[in-house]
Amino acid sequence: MNLDAQHPLATGLTADSRLIRAYQGTRPDATPVWFMRQAGRSLPEYRSLRVGTRMLDACLDPEMASEITLQPVRRHNVDAGILFSDIVIPLKLVGVDVEIVAGTGPVLGTAVRTAKDVAQLIELDPAVLDETLAPITAAVARTVAELGSTPLIGFAGAPFTLAAYLVEGGPSKDHIHARTLMHADPDAWAALMDWTAEVTGRFLRAQVLAGASAAQLFDSWAGALSLADYTRFVAPASTAAIAHVRDLTYDEGAAGTDVAHTDADDADAASVRRNVPVVHFGVGTGELLKEMHAVGADVVGVDYRVPLDEANRRLGGLVPVQGNVDPALLAAPWPVLEAHVLDVLERGRTAPSHVLNLGHGVPPMTDPNVLTRLVAFVHEVTAVFADATGSVPEAPVSAPSAS
């Protein structure tokens, strides 16, 4: 389905941004940068705005969610905003009893452990989201109106990561109850994953339709899975979740956005149909990179454990990558961080394109000035990757991986 003519990708406002170009596999004039969890507790302006408002209430207040989304964009000059929300929001909106407990994370009223629990859960109709998502789409619309040519990334949790919270009842180290359920009762597990894919897929699609220019699916806890379990019990549901945005397209250089064209045929010939870029990220998922790409992603987010040249090799040299500065180094002396970032950039050059990010979220105690300095540094050092005329250099040719 083609996006609305007013969507920032369709009007061309964000279509030529560094982020979108890099997600499409070309190298813009400088490497784009944004940070997972760039909004939030590292910013004093966030902490003061949040006083007296619960996390999920803040997400469901369009004015507040929009303001929190914009705070890091104003402060750091990052190349994208990411909607301030949470992966459990669509669960809450369909009627699941979930809260975010400060310092802990999402906590469920009751864990979903048995086939009976699953049957009860999936009686909640995902179609209710068509109405209950209104505060989210309102927040997106407000935010993109302010962001102008800076793209907004919409996001959602992947079915496994959400199911991990549902089955465990809260955060967990090894997700053992979820991993047991998939083997002990594959039918109940499949029903749970189908339902979760539908709920989270609708949440993601609504954000893109409302104005987000890219979509990121977080399978944060998929690193707990073996490759065999991922492929059998998880990948089909991730494919189903991504399918909710996979069909969304826009025409670049289309008639109506290009005033130079008067002849309709000419305009058609010049226009290229593109899809809304989809990014897929997980933590500890070095063994799953290829499969996480195969579920329908355009870009793969890499955590800090696998160097980007190795990630690129595992991905066959053909996939744009995002990552993977170690968040722990944000608190190290600047020369240590700088050397690490240069190494990440150098390894990232082996891939078709690279969006610089952290290997996981910004730690709450991070000095925000370090993030601002890091953005300026990355933009400055990568500008020399482009040649003197400012044109985009050839992407380095990587040998296809043997794996």
Q: Which residues bind ligand 1CP (CB under 6 A)?
A: 36-41, 55, 82, 84, 86-87, 100, 102, 105-106, 155, 161, 171, 218, 220, 361
The least distance separating ligand 1CP from the CB of residue 340, rounded to whole angstroms, comes to 20
The least distance separating ligand 1CP from the CB of residue 61, rounded to whole angstroms, comes to 14
Q: Pick between residue 70 and residue 254 the one whose CB is nearest to ligand 1CP.
A: 70
Residue 352 is encoded by which pair of tokens?
């078709």
The DSSP code for 113 is: -
The least distance separating ligand 1CP from the CB of residue 41, rounded to whole angstroms, comes to 5
The least distance separating ligand 1CP from the CB of residue 323, rounded to whole angstroms, comes to 13
Report how far residue 244's alpha carbon sits from residue 321's, in angstroms, rounded to the nearest whole number.
22
Active-site residue, from 41, 75, 274, 373: 41
Answer yes or no: 165 catalytic.
yes
Nearest to 57 by CA among 82, 102, 89: 89
Active-site residue, from 18, 27, 50, 142: 50
Residue nearest to ligand 1CP (CB): 105
Cis peptide bond prior to 369, omega within 30° of 0: no
Question: For the residues of 124-162, what is the DSSP string, one character each?
Answer: S-GGGHHHHTHHHHHHHHHHHHHHTTSPEEEEEE-HHHH
- If one counts every other C-beta atom within 10 angstroms of the C-beta of residue 305, the result is 16
Residue 263 is encoded by which pair of tokens?
């002849």
Q: Which three-class secondary structure state does DSSP give residue 280?
A: strand
b/e for 117-154, b at 16 or more Cβ within 10 A? bbeebbeeebeebeeebebbbbbbebbbeebeebbbbb
User: How many Å is the Cα radius of gyration of the chain?
Assistant: 21
Answer yes or no: 50 catalytic.
yes
Answer yes or no: 41 catalytic.
yes
* β-bridge mates for residue 354, sequence order: 321
Active-site residue, from 79, 86, 219, 326: 86
Tell me if 2 sits within 8 A of 356, measured CB to CB.
Answer: no
Active-site residue, from 23, 46, 165, 304: 165
The least distance separating ligand 1CP from the CB of residue 91, rounded to whole angstroms, comes to 11
Q: Pick between residue 41 and residue 290 the one whose CB is nearest to ligand 1CP.
A: 41
Active-site residue, from 18, 21, 27, 37: 37
| Residues making up the binding site | 37-41, 86, 165, 220, 360
Q: Pick between residue 38 and residue 213 the one whose CB is nearest to ligand 1CP.
A: 38
Answer yes or no: 268 catalytic.
no
Q: Pick between residue 112 and residue 254 the one whose CB is nearest to ligand 1CP.
A: 112
Q: Going by C-beta distance under 8 Å and a sequence separation of 6 or more, which residues neighbour residue 49?
A: 64, 67, 68
Q: Pick between residue 100 and residue 295 the one whose CB is nearest to ligand 1CP.
A: 100
Catalytic residue numbers read 37, 41, 50, 86, 165
